[in-house]
Amino acid sequence: MSAAVNKKDAQNIIGVFDSGLGGLTVLKYFLRDLPDYNYIYLGDSARLPYGEKSQATIYNYTREAVDFLFSVGCNLIIIACNTASSQALRRLQQEYLPVAYPGRRILGVIRPLVESITADKNIKAVGIIGTKATILSDAYKSELEKLKPSLRIEQVGTPLLVPLIEEGWAEKPETKMILKKYLRPLKEKQINALILGCTHYPFLHTQIKQIMGRQIMVPQPGEIISRSLNSYLKRHPELGLTQLAHPAYKFYTTDSPERFKLMGEKFLGRTINDLSRTVLTEL
């Protein structure tokens, strides 16, 4: 990281980071519920999937993404990626941020989802699906246990889903077949709610609900994370994030902008106009 990156002032912008396009399922709810802020989205599509990589690699990639988003003026970064949240967030918050960017903030997505599940008295058993790295980290499990020790927790790694979604195969019968195979053990364990522990999985929300049945709650992560961001912004005026009459939404990808635009507009449900390619390793 260069000194120039460090010195750049915060410019009233919320950064949203994901390993690829999946974080757009979170940004979609920010733009619906909190549209008057400036946003910069960064998708590290060139290095996706993070979910198959080691903790050291995921930490380094996420730190580079954080450096980039702070270098373009973000005051606050939401790490929308569950894999990065589970493998890198705590270390970034505790070791890196206070030294490299005092006064700026990084938030993840695991805590808001955990708080919402544990606040619901009717949920006695919860399932979690996520990438290999997220499930192996036990990040959801340990946070859930902290807040509600009586909760029964069932986790399943579902590594084939991200490539299928990135490929635009969400609606294909083959994907539904794979989903059924992944979800069967969770169904048999009679959970009350299922956490979609990966930014990509909201694309399969309808199919997952169909397979799991009406009794099992499958919250939309973006909705919960957006509510939590709203409350955080109200509690932290010192961050200097204000609502604007003409907010700007800017997008960066580390891979082909053409592909990002094509798939991203589907993910986001709106047109992506201001889009550039960037390289994270040169920082």
Residues that bind ligand DGL (CB under 6 A): 18-20, 22, 48-51, 81-83, 131, 134, 162, 198-200
Q: How far is the CB of 80 from ligand DGL (least distance, A)?
A: 7
Query: CA 96: distance to chain centroid?
Result: 20
Catalytic site includes residue 74: no
Is 192 in contact with 124 (CB distance < 8 Å)?
A: yes
Q: How far is the CB of 92 from ligand DGL (least distance, A)?
A: 16
Residue with tokens 């970034």: 92
- Could you tell me the two tokens for 9? 């002032």
For ligand DGL, the closer of residues 159 and 247 by Cβ is: 159
| CA distance linking residue 5 with residue 22, whole number of Å | 26
Look at residues 179, 151, 148 and name the one whose alpha carbon lies nearest to residue 164. 179
For ligand DGL, the closer of residues 51 and 222 by Cβ is: 51
Residue with tokens 């979604």: 165
Handedness of CA 250, 5, 108, 182 (dihedral sign): positive
3-state secondary structure of 35: coil
For ligand DGL, the closer of residues 204 and 241 by Cβ is: 204
Query: CA 19: distance to chain centroid?
Result: 9
Catalytic site includes residue 81: yes
Q: What share of the chain is helix, strand, coil (3-state, %, to 5)?
A: 50, 15, 35
Determine which one of 198, 268, 272, 280 is catalytic.
198
Q: How far is the CB of 25 from ligand DGL (least distance, A)?
A: 9
| CA distance linking residue 35 with residue 1, whole number of Å | 31
Q: How far is the CB of 81 from ligand DGL (least distance, A)?
A: 4
Supply the Cα-derived Rg of the chain in whole angstroms: 18
Q: How far is the CB of 192 from ligand DGL (least distance, A)?
A: 23
For ligand DGL, the closer of residues 29 and 50 by Cβ is: 50
The residue of the chain with the least Cβ separation from ligand DGL equals 51
> End-to-end alpha-carbon separation of the chain, Å?
5
For ligand DGL, the closer of residues 83 and 253 by Cβ is: 83
Determine which one of 24, 77, 81, 129 is catalytic.
81
Active site residues: 81, 198
